[in-house]
């Protein structure tokens, strides 16, 4: 299935969880947060939160900024 990760279309197996998306991308788990379709998914919910087809997943972290 196709989902949008940080604005880019990517392929994932059906039933992929938020944790699965992060692992597949190799994103460090510490210091990041995830929103699916504009709603924050808490860290503790990542292993169970299944991402549906066509969803928009945003993964954010802190960078230098004023």
Partner 1 sequence: MDGDHLVIGEHKLSSRLIIGTGGAANLAVVERALVASGTELTTVAMRKADADGGSGVLELLRRLGIRLLPNTAGCRTAAEAVLTARLAREALETDLIKLEVHADDRTLLPDPFETLEAAEQLTADGFTVLAYTNDDPVLALRLEEAGCAAVMPLGAPIGTGLGIRNPHNIELIVSRAGVPVILDAGIGTASDATLAMELGCDAVLLSTAVTRAADPERMASAMRAAVTAGRLAASAGRIPQRFWAHASSPPR
Q: Which residues bind partner 1 (CB under 8 A)?
A: 6-7, 25-28, 30-35, 38, 40, 42-43, 58-66
**Residue number with CB closer to partner 1 (19 or 58):** 58
SS3 (DSSP) at 53: coil
Tell me the CB-side half-sphere exposure of residue 30, using CA atoms within 13 A: 0
SS3 (DSSP) at 17: strand
**Residue number with CB closer to partner 1 (2 or 23):** 23
**Residue number with CB closer to partner 1 (40 or 50):** 40
d(CA 11, CA 8): 10
The least distance separating partner 1 from the CB of residue 18, rounded to whole angstroms, comes to 12
């Amino acid at each position: 299935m196709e989902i949008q990760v940080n604005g880019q279309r990517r392929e994932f197996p059906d039933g992929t969880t938020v944790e699965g998306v992060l692992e597949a991308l190799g994103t460090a788990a510490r210091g990041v947060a995830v929103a699916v379709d504009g709603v924050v998914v808490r860290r503790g919910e990542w292993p169970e939160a299944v991402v549906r087809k066509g969803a928009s997943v945003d993964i954010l972290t802190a960078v230098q900024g004023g």
